[in-house]
Structure 1
Amino acid sequence: MNIAIASPSDLADITALYAEAGYGAAIDPADTILVAKDEAQLVGVVRLCPEQGVTVLRGMQIRSVYQRQGIGAQLLAACRPYLDQHASYCLPYAHLLPFYGAAGFTVTDNVELPDFLAQRLEFYLARGQAVIAMQRPPGIRTRS
């Protein structure tokens, strides 16, 4: 498995993977996008989005036939140098708490979130999504 920063030629494959997964968020040119490839096939993606002075980890998706093979963990490990630079947040599904916790994210409550993320969280919760808010300070040591 090869993990790398996405190239412009990967964008169509990323968009297709997001559509396949039912994930609809738009890709911003300011995002740092990491991809996992099995030979030439894109099998996973994650975005690190600079938003209002913090980094938001978004859009972690693994192609269904490649799930449960550690690819998400490899992508998350590749994110760590970027996450170490700024306070970081994510709004994952609650069952993924241990996964993101291994990278140093901890559960936080709404009052500790930047306003734009608190609003995003409330929107997701109002839609019935079982998500939680997690934060990660810059430069922390985590398990490998």
Structure 2
Amino acid sequence: MDINITIRKAHDEEIHWVNEQYQRVGFKLSSFETDLVAIALIDGQKVGLGRIQKITDYDAELGGIYVSSDFRGVGIAAKLVTFLVENTAQYRQVYCLPFEHLAAFYEKFGFEPVSDNMSEVPDLVLSKHHWCNEIYDQTTLLFVKHNTDFIKRSAS
């Protein structure tokens, strides 16, 4: 069975739907002022979403990846992450706070554990990481992806 998955940027009028999904699963809500939200569709039906949140002028966080339980296992999360990562060229680093069992999934996209230099991690990311580990039953990791395109652009 060939499934046609479309990923697109959320429209302003969809913020209510976006935050309804996040509220349902206990994620922090989104704002289009700071977030690029992507929506996954199958045959026009909204089946998932994810976001890039601006943290500083140089740092962002990938998060809020959620796929409706009826549509899991067909590659929607991977397409959402790919779309979002492709839209981070303006950031030096992109942080991610995945649940521990999803570590290998995010490593496929170039994310790696933050093991040292915690002082370089923005306070907002550190506090959210702490919050996640207090709120969720599952361990939340702290990952980062260094944007080599950004580094090359700034050096030239």
**How does the TM-score come out when normalised to structure 2?**
0.80
Letter aligned with residue 132 of structure 1: L
* Greater Rg over alpha carbons, structure: 2
Structure 1 equivalent of residue 96 of structure 2: 90
Deviates most, 105-114 or 65-74 = 105-114
The CA deviation string for residues 82-110 of structure 1, in whole angstroms up to 9 with x for no partner, is: 23431100111011111111111001137
Residue 25 of structure 2 is aligned to residue 44 of structure 1: no
Counterpart among 8, 25, 49 of residue 12 in structure 2 = 8
**How does the TM-score come out when normalised to structure 1?**
0.86
CA distance in 2, matches of 1:84, 1:137: 10
Deviation at 1:123, TM superposition (A): 2.3
- The count of residues paired between Structure 1 and Structure 2 equals 139
For structure 2, which runs of at least 5 residues remain unmatched after alignment?
150-156
Q: Superposition pairs for residues 1-144 of structure 1, below 5 Å?
A: 1-20=5-24, 22-29=25-32, 30-53=34-57, 54-86=59-91, 87-109=93-115, 111=118, 112-127=120-135, 128-139=137-148
The CA deviation string for residues 60-99 of structure 1, in whole angstroms up to 9 with x for no partner, is: 1001110111100011111222234311001110111111
Letter aligned with residue 35 of structure 1: I
CA distance in 1, matches of 2:49, 2:134: 26
CA distance in 1, matches of 2:66, 2:85: 17
Kept in 2, the 8 Å contact 1:94–1:131? The answer is yes
